[in-house]
Structure 1
Amino acid sequence: MAAQTELSINLAGIERWLVDNGILQGSGLNSLQQLAGGTQNIVLRFSNNGRDYVLRHPPAKPRPNSNKLLEREIRLLRALAGSAVPHPAVVGACLDQNVIGGVFYVMEAIDGFNPTVAMGTVAAASPDVRHRMGLDMVDGLVALANVDPIASGLADFGKLEGFLERQVIRWASELESYARFEGWSGPQALGDVGAVGQWLTDNLPPDMQPGIIHGDYHIGNCIFAEDGALNAIVDWEMATLGDPLVDLGRLLVSWPVGGEVKPQTMRVEPIDGFATRAELIARYAKGSGRDMRHLPWFEVLACYKLGLILEGTHARSQAGLADVATGERLHRSAIALLDEARAIIARG
């Protein structure tokens, strides 16, 4: 049987449940490797009977909604089964918190590389492969936008009515909540955040074509094959129903422009050869058939939302609840994102 780990996961209980439910054989959770964890979820890769799997489990100090978020992620991944969206398949999921004290699930392991960790060998040597990576990311978004939420059993997965209208209120409230962290320097360094929110309110797109959104779509949440093909989109815990252009806006604001690395740009090396923003937009427009006239609004929203989220870590770090260096780094990114939002607005 598997032993307890330093991550305070009841691996013995997890293994017992997986074996009892016929998901694994009784040879144990072997070759354990932590892929991520500690803040959002704990993610472990392991092998059993010659196959590799990945376990997702709430963090050692779960948030009040950690189990609920995992339940939603499990439901979403199961709904995507058989679709054209590259995603890891759920092998088994335990929603009964009485088993080990929380929700957990096991999915198939996806081979490939995450370029924010290390670029694949072929991709590192080939600008053409890196170019394909960006285009494949857009194709993955198009495939997701084309999934019918009702037909896939996700009609109640999010509140569509007033989705766009709620965004400014939701994230402005998040920023205001940081006042509870003693020592936070406040939002002054972010510039006139209220003006950005007001622009979003005043320029709200008149309608939307609803669909499933990933919620945090960037290159760090993608796994690629050596030839640049998108093998899987991962980390679905923020998925909901809304306007899929939210995901495209999120991708664009973190995408390097002409090889330029900005504070909010995802860190990948080398970055030359990646598709341009114009190519990404054209690819999405052609594949999805969606109206792109209001795309700048979604880019501003992405900057606004992400900037305010990142400032939360800065506020917590100033209160002694998060790493100071990380807080300062994310604070710089938040400033850059709000500056970018104002630049998009100024360009009209």
Structure 2
Amino acid sequence: MTISRDAHIDAAAVADWMERVGLGGGSLEQVEPLAGGTQNIMVSFMQDGRRYILRRGPRHLRPGSNRIMGREIALLGGLAQTDVPHARLIASCEDESVLGGAVFYLMEPIDGYNALVSLPQHHAAVPEMRHRMGLSMVEALATLGGVDYDAVGLSEYARPDRFLERQVPRWLGELDSYSQLAGYPGADIGDVTRVAEWLDRHRPRTWTPGIMHGDFHISNVMFRHDEPEIAAIVDWEMTTIGDPLLDLGWMLSLWAGPDDVDDLLGSAYASGGGLPTEQEIVQCYADRSSRDVSAIDWYVVLACFKLGIVLEGTYARSFAGQASVETGLRLHEITLRLFERAIQRISD
């Protein structure tokens, strides 16, 4: 087998590299692209009776794509020493000449499913199962936030100093940068200035650094088939050392409220109801963490602000032909709802 065009990898090159690093020999079999995220590529394949998952940057690499892959590799290496549920790192290749300029890594496959699209029948039919699934997400998040990042070799992974202070100007600058994209009419997404000013006025004075996933929600976790528990947290491309309470706020920013028929992602998980309430989620986290959750509203508002701007970037790029129009419009609608939620929080 040579180039797997649908999967965007040179299977022969990967097989040669695996043999050189002692992972076995022979051609790759059953090479199949996997869904996961909107940019980076994941590929499943078999070699010598063992299944692997390969992850690399997008087909058209961006300037920071390989740096992001390198950060994921370092993070997964650190998590190997912890109880955080994740796909175990097998090996990595930061030699860009192997795979057409792309850094990549191999990880263990996860025996689980993503609840964004569908649920197994026994999970879909029983509200108590879905309730437990939500609490399992919170427990996994608390476990991640409790990892001593220095002890697992991630002391140089990112600089957490002034993390909260940097958030508002950083993302306002990102939003301003979209004006450089051809055709983008400008950000008509709500009262951004009001939200930004509220965040600056109410920013927590003290916090404790820890590992953040950076994009924690229902589509970035996998659940076990046999019980309503997390099998793995996936898609670590936005991870950093910051304030882990922002991950909790991120999860809540997209969560289905008491009067909602679904969550902001339109997930199969939320459509059936039975989810834990925000109060239950926050209490579950507090029970498993030493962090002070009293300012959780601030973290939810920051998550709405940051995630909304991130998603608006895809909408802006769609005008310049750098993203699909359909995806851009879908994410723009989520951005509008996120800013509506932010305004509601700061008005209550």
TM-score, normalising length: structure 1: 0.94
> What's the CA shift string for 1:52-89, capped at 9, x where partnerless?
21100121101101111001001100101131100111
For residue 262 of structure 1, report the CA deviation from its aligned partner: 5.7
Separation (CA, whole Å) in 2 of partners of 1:322 and 1:74? 26
5+ residue gaps, structure 1, are none
Give the equivalent residue in structure 2 for 1:55. 54
Paired residue type of 2:14: I
Give the equivalent residue in structure 1 for 2:293. 292
Which aligned segments of 4 or more residues in structure 1 are displaced greater than 6 angstroms? none
Q: RMSD of the TM alignment (CA)? A: 1.7
Q: Is the 8 A contact 1:7 1:60 kept in 2?
A: no
Q: Is the 8 A contact 2:12 2:28 kept in 1?
A: no
Paired residue type of 2:145: A
Q: Does 1:36 pair with 2:11?
A: no
What SS does structure 2 have at the residue aligned with 1:220? Answer: helix
Q: Does 1:243 pair with 2:243?
A: yes
Give the equivalent residue in structure 2 for 1:330. 331
Paired residue type of 1:344: R
Q: Is the 8 A contact 2:42 2:56 kept in 1?
A: yes
For residue 2 of structure 1, report the CA deviation from its aligned partner: 4.5
Give the equivalent residue in structure 2 for 1:64. 63
What SS does structure 2 have at the residue aligned with 1:231? Answer: strand
Q: Does 1:169 pair with 2:169?
A: yes
Give the equivalent residue in structure 1 for 2:191. 192
Q: Is the 8 A contact 1:54 1:108 kept in 2?
A: yes
Separation (CA, whole Å) in 2 of partners of 1:103 and 1:57? 6
What SS does structure 2 have at the residue aligned with 1:190? Answer: coil
Give the equivalent residue in structure 1 for 2:93. 94
TM-score, normalising length: structure 2: 0.94
Separation (CA, whole Å) in 1 of partners of 2:38 and 2:219? 16
What SS does structure 2 have at the residue aligned with 1:321? Answer: coil
Compared with structure 1, are the counterparts of its residues 10 and 344 closer, same or farther at alpha carbon in structure 2 (3 Å cutoff)?
same
5+ residue gaps, structure 2, are none
Q: Is the 8 A contact 2:224 2:231 kept in 1?
A: yes
For residue 259 of structure 1, report the CA deviation from its aligned partner: 6.7
For residue 315 of structure 1, report the CA deviation from its aligned partner: 1.5
Aligned residue pairs total 345
For residue 263 of structure 1, report the CA deviation from its aligned partner: 7.1
For residue 48 of structure 1, report the CA deviation from its aligned partner: 2.4
For residue 109 of structure 1, report the CA deviation from its aligned partner: 0.2
For residue 179 of structure 1, report the CA deviation from its aligned partner: 0.6
Q: Does 1:275 pair with 2:273?
A: no
Compared with structure 1, are the counterparts of its residues 37 and 145 closer, same or farther at alpha carbon in structure 2 (3 Å cutoff)?
closer
For residue 7 of structure 1, report the CA deviation from its aligned partner: 4.3
> What's the CA shift string for 1:190-244, capped at 9, x where partnerless?
1221111111111110011110000000010111112111010000111100000
The alignment-based identity, stated in percent, is 44
